[in-house]
Structure 1
Amino acid sequence: MTRIDRYIFRQLAGGLLAVTAGLAALVWLTQSLRFIELVLDRGLSLTVFIELTSLMLPGFIAVILPITTFVVVLFVYVRMNSDRELVVMRAAGLSPLRLARPAISLALISVAVGYMLNMWLVPLSHGAFRMWQFEIRNQMAAILLQEGVFSSIGNELTVYARSRERDGTLRGILVHDQREPGAPVTIIAEQGRITTTPLGPRVLLINGVREQMEAGRNGQPPRLNTLSFAENSVDLARATRQEEVRARDSRERSIPELLDPDPAEGLRPRDVARFYGEAHQRMSAPLTALSYALVALAVALTGQFRRHGGGLRLAAGIGITVGLLALGLTIGNLATRENAFVWLIWAHALVPGIVALWWMIGAPGLPRPRPRPASA
């Protein structure tokens, strides 16, 4: 790598690290606001909060890395063009392809990082994130209860508390339990308290009424059974314990699992098609970093030099890439519904870069206007 290559590469690498870190931090901050209430009001420790939200970062970086690569390449080269640096380099005999070499090297590094994230780190971190969610719902279900709100714990248990005191005592409790098929239970109690046991959290209810609707037998109508109690205990963990055998999300699965899921899971054909499309999206997505970088180079390094033309180049490059991003979302949704269009995912990842490279080397094969002969 020559001195000029190192000079351009340092600017590109420093900009890519700064922009990617800043944008990832911004996205992390906006997404982590969903969990901040668990720290402020529900007693979730700050350490658990940081560990939980940090597991989302690999997925954020995998998504934004191609975009930040494009942004940095476009802005650095347009700035160098406006500062006349590229003019001097071109005057020294450097071709557009030669000037593009540092950006292509950086884009290849982004592609390698993207593959590491999509193939290994994103499934690993997303699986750990889902397990943390399960632990919060199951072992820490107490922090999910909010006063004056009907809180769903699992799919079949709803708990309401009119107020919650500082010592954790709940006042005015209503529990609707549908875990027993055909025999829903409604419990109303004056007060209660969440207790933690080795098997998960339980709520101890004091001074209440338990009402259960039982199906009628031998043609008899359903019957309502009512029982008054001084103390009663309800298992909150059992509402979510069955989720230990839940079907894993597509982002938790490796590429072989997405391409060839286990038939024993009993997946629907729609889910199998979605997994297949997701696998090809994950395999092709890192290549868009190289394609977007080539698009930025084609915009910044071609055409005539204009003293005040930087804004136009930026607008053209951003417009092209925004269109490519919108097209990619459309193709991704189409391919996950109908796998016959999976080839469009790869075309979207590769064709823009090939066209940009062809344009950058002079668009060979494109008809050129002939110069008019000079008039006598």
Structure 2
Amino acid sequence: MTRLDRYIFRQLAVALLAVTFGLAALVWLTQSLRFIELVLDRGLSFFVFIKLTGLLLPSFFAVILPITTFVVALFVYVRLAADRELVVMRAAGLSQWRLARPALALAGLAMAICYVLNLWLVPASQAAFRAWQYEIRNQLAAILVQEGVFSSVGDDLTVYARYRDRDGTLRGILVHDAREKGAPVTILAEAGRITPGPNGPRVTLENGERQQVERVPPAANAPPGTPPTTRLNVLSFSENSVDLARTSRGAGEGGERYRNAQERSLSELLHPDPADHVPDRDLRRFVAEAHQRLASPLNALSFGLVALATALAGQFRRHGGGLRLFTGIVVVVALLAIGLMVGNLAARQTSMIPLIWVNAIAPGLIAAWVIAGMPGLPHILLRRPRPPAAGTA
């Protein structure tokens, strides 16, 4: 790499670091607001909040890095053109590709970082984030039951305690358990304690009453079309226990948490374990996610080439250069929108998966063709009309 390449590359690298970390911090702030309520309701510390939301940063960087590569390359080369530095470099005999070499090196580095993020860091961080979030919502919440507050453990279990003694005994307990579909249970008890169990924390209740509404089918001699009736079963007990860790939503067989596509490695997406009993709809999503991880880092190189084609193909004059700059931005925004649409289509129909690769590779090839001077295009389209000579009609 020559001294001139290092000069341009240094400007690109510094700008890329500043813009990427700044934009990632902004996205992190907006996304972390969703978890403030979770932390406040569970009484967790600020350190847990930072560590929990910090696990989302690798996925943010994987999405942001191709975009910031385009922004930085376009900004730096437009500034070089506005300062007439590109004119001096061209006068020194540098070709378009020599001028583009620092930006291509930066785009290649960004692409390599995106591959590391997509193939290793993002699945690991997503798995750790969702496992910790699941534990907070379904297990730690049981330990942090607050007096006088209806505490939700998952989406189908609610625990209320009127107050708590100094020794940890809960008084005036209400438990509403809707984990069994169609047969919700409401338990009232005078006292109880939260104790560890084989599957997680559970509350042991004393001197209470268990109420359950059941559907009773019509009698055999009932007229056709008779709707079923409901019946309230009441059971008094001196001691009973309710498992607070087991929730119906988000758990698979044996109470294990079901992992989505973002948490799985590339091999698990392409060759899922038959023991997981993954439905066909999720299998299509897994395949689309695998191709998306392999193809999306190429956007860093393609977006970098689009920026170079915008900045190097022609001169930015005082009038007229803004249109080409606006065109480059519109092209990248359109590519991002098309990428989202293609990803959703590929998750539904595997026949759309090739469009993921077309969307990632085709813009870079077209931009490289523009940087090379559009070879193969008829010269009459490239040649500018000459002004008429003086004295001619």
Give TM-score, length-normalised by structure 1. 0.86
Q: Which residue of 1 aligns with 2:200?
A: 200
Q: Which residue of 1 aligns with 2:2?
A: 2
Q: Which residue of 1 aligns with 2:157?
A: 158
Residues 96 and 124 from structure 1, CA distance in 2 versus in 1: closer, same or farther, beyond 3 angstroms? same
Distance 2:371 2:219 in 1: 82
1:80-131 Cα distance to aligned partner (Å, 9 max, x none): 1112211221222212211100000000001110111111111111111121
User: In the comparison of the two structures, how many residue pairs are matched?
Assistant: 375
**Residue 272 of structure 1: CA displacement?**
1.6
**Residue 250 of structure 1: CA displacement?**
0.5
- Mapping 1:199-238, distance limit 5 Å: 200-203=200-203, 209-213=209-213, 223-227=231-235, 233-238=241-246
**Residue 317 of structure 1: CA displacement?**
1.7
Query: Tell me, what secondary structure is at the counterpart of 1:187?
Result: strand
Query: Tell me, what secondary structure is at the counterpart of 1:226?
Result: strand
- Mapping 1:51-66, distance limit 5 Å: 51-66=51-66
Q: Which residue of 2 aligns with 1:12?
A: 12
Residues 217 and 355 from structure 1, CA distance in 2 versus in 1: closer, same or farther, beyond 3 angstroms? closer
Greater mean alpha carbon deviation, residues 193-202 or residues 133-142: 193-202
What residue identity is the alignment partner of 2:6? R
* Structure 1 stretches lacking a partner, 5+ long: none
Distance 2:172 2:230 in 1: 28
Distance 1:78 1:284 in 2: 28
Contact preservation (8 Å) 2:143, 2:201:
no
1:119-162 Cα distance to aligned partner (Å, 9 max, x none): 1111111111121122212330237868998654345x331649
Greater mean alpha carbon deviation, residues 128-137 or residues 216-225: 216-225
Contact preservation (8 Å) 1:187, 1:209:
yes
1:304 to 2:315 alignment? yes
Distance 1:198 1:305 in 2: 70
Query: Tell me, what secondary structure is at the counterpart of 1:239?
Result: coil
Query: Tell me, what secondary structure is at the counterpart of 2:157?
Result: strand
Aligned-residue sequence identity (percent) comes to 65
1:234-273 Cα distance to aligned partner (Å, 9 max, x none): 3312336955523321011222222232334333322222
- Mapping 1:97-108, distance limit 5 Å: 97-108=97-108
Q: Which residue of 2 aligns with 1:265?
A: 276
Contact preservation (8 Å) 1:111, 1:290:
yes
Query: Tell me, what secondary structure is at the counterpart of 1:237?
Result: coil
Residues 272 and 144 from structure 1, CA distance in 2 versus in 1: closer, same or farther, beyond 3 angstroms? farther
Query: Tell me, what secondary structure is at the counterpart of 1:365?
Result: coil
What residue identity is the alignment partner of 1:75? F
1:340 to 2:351 alignment? yes
What residue identity is the alignment partner of 2:246? R
- Mapping 1:78-227, distance limit 5 Å: 78-142=78-142, 152-154=152-154, 157-159=156-158, 161=160, 174-179=174-179, 183-188=183-188, 200-203=200-203, 209-213=209-213, 223-227=231-235
Contact preservation (8 Å) 1:66, 1:292:
yes
CA RMSD in angstroms comes to 3.3
Q: Which residue of 1 aligns with 2:301?
A: 290
Contact preservation (8 Å) 1:206, 1:229:
yes
Distance 1:22 1:144 in 2: 36
1:251 to 2:259 alignment? no
**Residue 280 of structure 1: CA displacement?**
0.8
Distance 2:65 2:16 in 1: 9
What residue identity is the alignment partner of 2:133? Q
